[in-house]
Amino acid sequence: MSQPSFNVLHEPWIPVVRPDGSREDLGILPCLSQAHELREIRDPSPIIEFGLYRLLVAFVLDALITAGQRPEDALDVKNLIAEGRFDTDLLKKYAEDCGDVFDLFDDRRPFLQTAGAKGNSKPLAGAYPAVPSGTNAGLWHHAHEEDAVVSSAGAARLLTTIAPFMTAGGAGLSPSINGAPAIYCLPLGQDLCRTVLMNLPIGFDEPSAGRVAWREPRRPGTERNSATTVEALTWRPRIVRIIPRTNSTDAVSVREMKFEKGDSTRFEWRDPNLAYRFDTDKVTPIRMREGRPLWRDAGPLALLHEGGHGKGDGKISYTRPSAVNNAFGLTDSASDLRIKAYGMRTDMKMKVFEWVTSELVFPAKLGRSASLGRLLQAEFDLADKASFYLRSAIKGLFPREGAGNKAAMGTVCDRAERAYWQQLEPGLGPVMSRYAGLGEDAAGDAELIKAIAHPWRSQIERLAGYQFDIAAEDMDADSDALERAVRARGKLRSSLRKVLE
**Residues 126-159 pLDDT 10s:** 777 766 555 555 454 555 555 678 899 999 999 9
Contacts of 327 (CB under 8 A, 6+ apart): 187, 198, 199, 337, 339
Q: CA 496 to CA 409: how far, in whole Å?
A: 21
User: What's the average model confidence in pLDDT over 286-299?
Assistant: 94
Contact, 43 vs 50, CB < 8 A?
A: no
Average pLDDT over residues 232-236: 96
| Mean pLDDT within 455-467 | 97
* Cα 306–chain centre separation: 21
Phi, psi (degrees; rounded to nearest 5) at 10: -120, -30
| Contact yes or no for 318/274 (Cβ under 8 A) | no
157-216: pLDDT as tens digits:
999 999 999 999 777 789 999 999 999 999 999 999 999 999 999 977 777 788 999 999
Instruction: Name the 3-class secondary structure at 474.
Output: coil
Q: Which residues touch 283 (CB under 8 Å, ≥6 apart)?
A: 268, 276, 277
Residue 247 forms beta bridges with which residues?
Answer: none
**The pLDDT of residue 125 is above 80:** no
Bridge partner residues of 318 (DSSP): 277
Helices (H) and strands (E) in the chain, counts: 16, 16
**What are residue 369's phi and psi, to 5 degrees?**
-105, 115
Among the residue ranges 123-132, 265-274, 371-380, the one predicted with the least confidence is: 123-132
Task: Tell me the pTM.
Answer: 0.92
At 75-86, the pLDDT tens digits run 999 999 999 999
Instruction: Estimate to the nearest angstrom the gap between the alpha carbon of 482 and the chain centroid.
Output: 45
CA–CA separation, 457 and 447 (whole Å) = 14
Collapsing DSSP states into helix, strand and coil, what is residue 188?
A: strand
Run of H or E residues at 436? helix 428-436
Helices (H), 144-282: 152-159, 162-165, 192-198, 229-233
Residue 342 banded pLDDT, cuts 50, 70, 90 = very high
The pLDDT value given to residue 313: 54
Confidence of residue 248 (pLDDT cuts 50, 70, 90): low
46, burial (CB in 10 Å: exposed 0-12, middle 13-18, buried 19+) = buried
**Residue 24, beta-bridge partner list:** 16
* Structural domains of the chain in order of their starting residue, each with its CATH number: 14-174+193-265 (no CATH), 369-501 (1.10.132.100)
Task: Count CB-CB contacts under 10 A for residue 482.
Answer: 13
| Exposed / middle / buried, residue 142 (Cβ in 10 Å: 0-12, 13-18, 19+) | exposed
What phi and psi values does residue 57 have, to the nearest 5 degrees?
Answer: -60, -45
Going 388 to 392 to 395 to 397, the CA torsion angle's sign is negative
Say yes or no to pLDDT of 285 above 90.
yes
| 444-456 mean pLDDT | 93
Residue 402: pLDDT band (50, 70, 90) is low
Percentage of residues of the chain with pLDDT beyond 70: 92
pLDDT of residue 145: 55
| DSSP label of 143 | -
Contact 56, 31 (CB under 8 A): yes
Q: Is 422 exposed, middle or buried (0-12, 13-18, 19+ CB in 10 A)?
A: exposed
Task: Output the average pLDDT for the chain.
Answer: 90
Strand partners, 309: 316
